[in-house]
Chain A
Amino acid sequence: MIDVQDLSKDYVQKRKDPGLRGALKGLVKPERKLVHAVRDLSFLIREGEIVGFIGPNGAGKSTTIKMMSGILTPTKGRVLIDGRDITRYRKEVVRNIGVVFGQRTQLNWDLRLGESFELLKHIYQIDQSDYDRTLDELDQILGIKEIIDKPVRQMSLGQRVKGDLVASMLHSPKVLFLDEPTIGLDVSAKFALRKFIKEINRVRKTTVILTTHDLGDIQELCERIIIINHGVMMEDGNLSQIVDRIAPYKTLVVEYYDEAAPEHPRCEMILHDGNVAKYRFLKNDITAADIIADLSKTASIKDVSIEEAGIDDIIKIAYGA
C-alpha cells in the first residue's frame, strides 16, 4: 500500500551570530548549515493499518508525513502509494489520500460548512449519489449534519476538526494522514475523533497514518507505532511488543496495615511511603500473585493494585528523558 524507500530530507539553515554584528556578517557572508531533518527512513504500511508516528517536537515526524502526503519533495528516496511515486505523479496519487493537519483547516472560513464540501465534490469529481452516501455514512459516525449549515468561523475547534475530517474523507481516500489531530481538543471531541478513526478503519478499510503526542491516541488507535527521533527511526513495530521489550516490567502497589514494608528478593522496591510500597518486577520472571503470597507471609496486606508499564515509559525512553 505505502512503500517508503530511503526517505531523506535536508534543509539548508542559515546560521546567524548574535547581535547587529552577527546580522551584518550573515548578510555579507552567510553561514549555511545542512540540517538532516529525516534520514533514510524505509518502511512498508499495509492496507487497513493504523500507524502512529511518535517522537519529540522537531524529531522529523511532520516532515515525514508531509513527504508521504506529497507536500514536501524528498531530498532523497521516494514514497510509493499503491506503487505510484507521489512526488512524480502528485495529481493522480493524491486522489487516494486525505489529509488533516491539526491546526490548519481546509474549510472556507466565511461560508457555511456545506459550501466547503460542495467545492471538494467538484475538485474530486465525486458523483452526487456517492457524495450523498458518503456524507450519510460519515454523519452517522460524527453527526456532521447538525453543523453543516453553520459558518466555519462560528465553530468551536472540536466542530471545525470534525468538519475537516469529513472534508478529507468525502472522496473516500484509501489513506488518511492526520498530523496531530487531537491537539487542543477537549475530552469528548477527542473521544469522537478516535471513534471516527476506528470506524472508518473498520468499515472502509482506510489506512490511517497519524502523528501525535497524545498517549490516549496511541493506546486507543495504534496497533503499530514508528518512533522517530533526530530524523532517524528508533522503533517500528507492534505497540505491545515494543512496550514488552523496552519496558518489560510491571509495578505492584501494596498497602499494608502498618509501616513495616518487607523487601522481596526478586523485586525492586521503588517507593516506600508510610503504609504504601511499590515493587517493580519483570513480567517474565515472577507473577504478582507469587509476590503477594511471599509478602503476606511477613506482613499483613490491606490492598494491592498493579500498574502496567506503558507508553509513557516508551516515550520517556524514546525522547531520551
Chain B
Amino acid sequence: MGKVFRELIHYMDVTAQVIKMAVMTIIEYPSNIVGWMISNPLQFIMGFAIIKFVVESFGEINGWNYGQLAFLYGLSVISHALSMIFFVQGWFMGYYVIDGDFDRYLTRPLGVLYQFFFTNINIFGVTDLIPGILVFIYGCVKCEVTVNLLFIVQVVVILIGATLIRGGIYILLGSTSFHTRSAVDFGQYTQEIMDKTTMYPLSMYPESMQFILTYLIPVGWISFYPVSALLGIDSAYNAVLVPFITLGVGILVMIVAGVYFDVGLRKYESAGN
C-alpha cells in the first residue's frame, strides 16, 4: 500500500510540473491563445444554435425538449473538452509510432501512456470547456433540476466515466498503428462520429446502430444513457445507478485500451537513425 501511495505522489508531482511547463509554453506563444479563445467556443455555440433552431421549428427531437437537449449537449461538450485536455494526443499516436517518438518515454521510469498523454497535456482544451459549462448550466435551469450533493456527485461520476470512454477509444484507435505501421490521422472522423452520437439523443438512430453504439463502441454511455436516467426521460433507467455504469464502462474501456496498447508497444520498432 505504501508503495502505491508513493507512486501516486510521484505521478502527481510530475503532473504538476508538466502542467506548469504547458502553461509556460502557452505564454511563450501568446498569439495562439487569442485564436483558440475565439474559434473553439464559437464552434460549439454555433452547434448549439443549430439545435435551438431545429427544436424551435419542430418542437422537440425524439421526445427530448429544448432544455433536455441543452443538458445533453452541454454535458457532452464538457466531457469532450476534458478528453481534449488529457487525451487529444491519442489522435496523433500513429505519428509517434512511425517517428520512433516513444523511445524517450520507454527510457524513463514512468508509465509510457501516462507520459505520452501528460507530457503533451493540452491546456488549450479549456477553451472547449467554457461553452460546455454554459450550455449545461442553461440546460439545468431549463429542466429545473434540483442541484444537491447527489446530483453533483452523479455529474462528476458521469464526466469521469465519459472522459475515460473517449480517451480509451482514442487509445484503441491509435494503438492500431503499432500493427499497421502507418499513421492515420483519425481525429477528425472520431470527432464527427462522437459529436453526432453524444450531442443528440441516441434514440433517434436506427436500432441496429443503437446496439452498436451501446455495446460495441460504447459511446451511448458518454451522455445519452446517463442523461436519460438523470432527467427521468426513460423510466427504464435507474437514475442512481446509471451514472456509475458510465464510470464502470469508462474504466473497462480504459483497461482494454491499456492492454491493447501494451501489446502494441511490444511490437514497437522505433525508427532508424
A interface residues, Cβ below 8 angstroms from B = 11, 58, 62, 66, 69-73, 90-92, 94-95, 97, 99, 101-104, 106, 108, 110-111, 115, 118-119, 122-125, 151, 179-180, 183
- Using known A-B contacts A72-B268, A103-B273, determine if residue A111 contacts B28 with beta carbons closer than 8 Å: yes
Check B109–A124 contact: CB distance below 8 A: yes
Residue in chain B with minimal CB distance to A66: B270
Extra contacts, 7 of them, besides A91-B109, A124-B108 (Cβ < 8 A), are A72-B268, A90-B106, A99-B103, A108-B25, A111-B21, A123-B14, A123-B110
Most B Cβ at <10 Å: residue of A70, A72, A97, A180? A72
How many angstroms between the C-alpha atoms of A179 and B271 in the bound complex? Answer: 13
Task: Determine how close the nearest CB of chain A comes to the CB of B161; give it in whole angstroms.
Answer: 28
| Chain A to chain B: the 6 pairs with minimum beta-carbon distance, closest first | A122-B17, A99-B107, A106-B104, A73-B266, A71-B106, A110-B25
Contact bitstring B19-36, A, C-beta under 8 A = 1, else 0: 001001100110000000
Which chain B positions have C-beta within 8 A of A111? 21, 24-25, 28
Check B109–A71 contact: CB distance below 8 A: no
- On chain B, the number of residues with a Cβ less than 8 Å from chain A's Cβ atoms is 29
Partner of A122, one of B14, B28, B29, B272: B14
Q: Which of B1-28 contact A (CB under 8 A)?
A: 10, 13-14, 17-18, 21, 24-25, 28
Which chain B positions have C-beta within 8 A of A118? 17
Which chain A positions have C-beta within 8 A of B18? 119
How many angstroms between the C-alpha atoms of A177 and B25 in the bound complex? Answer: 29
Most A Cβ at <10 Å: residue of B25, B119, B269? B269
Residue in chain A with minimal CB distance to B24: A111
Check A71–B107 contact: CB distance below 8 A: yes
How many angstroms between the C-alpha atoms of A95 and B109 in the bound complex? Answer: 6
Check A122–B24 contact: CB distance below 8 A: no
Task: Determine how close the nearest CB of chain A comes to the CB of B199; give it in whole angstroms.
Answer: 34
Check B14–A180 contact: CB distance below 8 A: no
Residue in chain B with minimal CB distance to A61: B273
Check B21–A115 contact: CB distance below 8 A: yes
Which chain A positions have C-beta within 8 A of B106? 69-71, 90, 94
Which chain A positions have C-beta within 8 A of B25? 108, 110-111
How many angstroms between the C-alpha atoms of A101 and B104 in the bound complex? Answer: 9
Which chain A positions have C-beta within 8 A of B104? 99, 104, 106
Residue in chain B with minimal CB distance to A124: B109
Check A125–B268 contact: CB distance below 8 A: no
- Using known A-B contacts A94-B109, A102-B273, determine if residue A71 contacts B103 with beta carbons closer than 8 Å: yes
Check B269–A11 contact: CB distance below 8 A: yes
Residue in chain A with minimal CB distance to B10: A125
Task: Determine how close the nearest CB of chain B comes to the CB of A111; give it in whole angstroms.
Answer: 6
Which chain B positions have C-beta within 8 A of A58? 272
How many angstroms between the C-alpha atoms of A191 and B29 in the bound complex? Answer: 36
Q: Which of B231-273 contact A (CB under 8 A)?
A: 265-270, 272-273
| 16 A-B pairs (CB sep. < 8 Å) | A58-B272, A62-B272, A62-B273, A69-B106, A69-B107, A71-B103, A71-B270, A95-B109, A97-B107, A101-B103, A111-B25, A118-B17, A119-B18, A119-B21, A119-B119, A125-B13
How many angstroms between the C-alpha atoms of A124 and B107 in the bound complex? Answer: 11
Residue in chain B with minimal CB distance to A91: B109
Partner of A119, one of B17, B100, B102: B17
- Using known A-B contacts A71-B270, A122-B17, determine if residue A94 contacts B103 with beta carbons closer than 8 Å: no
Contact bitstring B136-172, A, C-beta under 8 A = 1, else 0: 0000000000000000000000000000000000000
Which chain B positions have C-beta within 8 A of A101? 103, 273
Which chain B positions have C-beta within 8 A of A108? 21, 25
Check A110–B29 contact: CB distance below 8 A: yes
